[in-house]
Amino acid sequence: MIKVGILGGAGYTGGELLRLLLQHPHVQIQSLVSSTQAGRAASFIHRDLIGDIELRFTEQLDPTVELVFLCLGHGNSKKALDKIPKTAYIIDLSNDFRLCKNARSAERNFVYGLPELQIDVIKKAKNIANPGCFATAIELALLPLARAGCLKEDIHISALTGSTGAGRDLSETGHFSRRAHNASTYKLFTHQHLDEIRESLLSLQEGFSSELFFVPYRGNFTRGILATIYTRCELSLKEARLLYEDFYKTHPFTHLSEDPLELKQVVNTNKCLLHLTKEKGCLIVSSVLDNLLKGASGQAVQNFNLMYCYDEMTALYLKPLAF
């Protein structure tokens, strides 16, 4: 059994981790840390866990933990490193260590944790920088084209995300009265995930220099991401499908669909589904995933499984909502 700690366990990603790890046969949740909820029962915050867990939030990590999941706000993970035992492995869910220029901190070197991109590196890693939710959806839509050297034109992206992507803390744009029956754009062409997307594409297609025009949307629902990506491409639709099927044939969570996609196909799962069409010389790729699972906590558990040589799907056989 691996003794696990969660730093920042009161947020949405921390709650999802608890739900997954409670079902993991090789995990003992040793420590659950929250600076604001110390002393309270985990089920007081995550109320669906009443009867499932007796653990309480604490102010500090148990020193015996062997791996720590960091579920802190962006910019706070780096500050927390000195609170973690030097022998403990880390999986960080913030953006603090995702970029190559930020991957090394003190004595730790973080590996970008997208299994479909570098599974063999993850298996040998001690510190993982979990990818962003938008980044995961967009990278999985483009990586097969990058490996084939097919990204030669500008790439246009629009993506809709649920309110949980903004975190648990209340904000004006996350408030129910603002979000319900509404939609809005934000961070047009400047979203923070663009840098990690570009680095991942460059790792497969040297010299990639196309523009990434990204328009993110806030949706009036709680969880999920629906992304549409298009770029001019010389491949036929049949050739593109064969390319994607070959790229993902050994990856259990990313699949190609022959039919158009809906969010409910992936919400509450660790899957990313992709759909391809070809129109007016452009290859159009649709991508859907659950931002809290494949876009965050589910992918973190997937990386945990790879680091410890467990079956990649352990604790991730999840049922979609369907309707």
Nearest to 92 by CA among 17, 170, 199: 17
The verdict on 111 and 176 lying in the same domain is no
Mean pLDDT (whole number) for 48-69: 95
The verdict on 75 and 159 lying in the same domain is no
| DSSP code string of 219-260 | -SSSS-EEEEEEEE--S-HHHHHHHHHHHTTT-TTEEE-SS-
The verdict on 22 and 105 lying in the same domain is yes
Burial class (CB in 10 A: 0-12, 13-18, 19+), 107: exposed
Is position 274 within any domain?
A: yes
The verdict on 28 and 103 lying in the same domain is yes
The verdict on 32 and 160 lying in the same domain is no
The verdict on 95 and 186 lying in the same domain is no
pTM of the model: 0.95
* CATH number, position 272: 3.30.360.10
Is position 202 within any domain?
A: yes
Alpha helix positions (H), the chain:
12-21, 42-45, 77-80, 115-123, 133-147, 176-179, 194-204, 237-247, 297-307
Catalytic residue among 133, 150, 233, 272: 133
| CB atoms inside a 10 Å sphere around CB 181 | 7
133 carries an active-site annotation:
yes
- Residue 322, both tokens: 């369907």
The verdict on 118 and 200 lying in the same domain is no
The verdict on 303 and 211 lying in the same domain is no
Is position 53 within any domain?
A: yes
Q: What is the pLDDT of residues 179-189, one digit of tens each?
A: 788 989 999 99
Is position 314 within any domain?
A: no
Nearest to 94 by CA among 68, 122, 59, 55: 68
Is position 248 within any domain?
A: yes
The verdict on 91 and 178 lying in the same domain is no
Q: What is the pLDDT of residues 270-323, one digit of tens each?
A: 999 999 999 999 999 999 999 999 999 999 999 999 999 999 999 999 999 877
The verdict on 137 and 284 lying in the same domain is yes
The verdict on 200 and 236 lying in the same domain is yes
Domain range for 139 is: 133-289
- Residue 280, both tokens: 């007016």
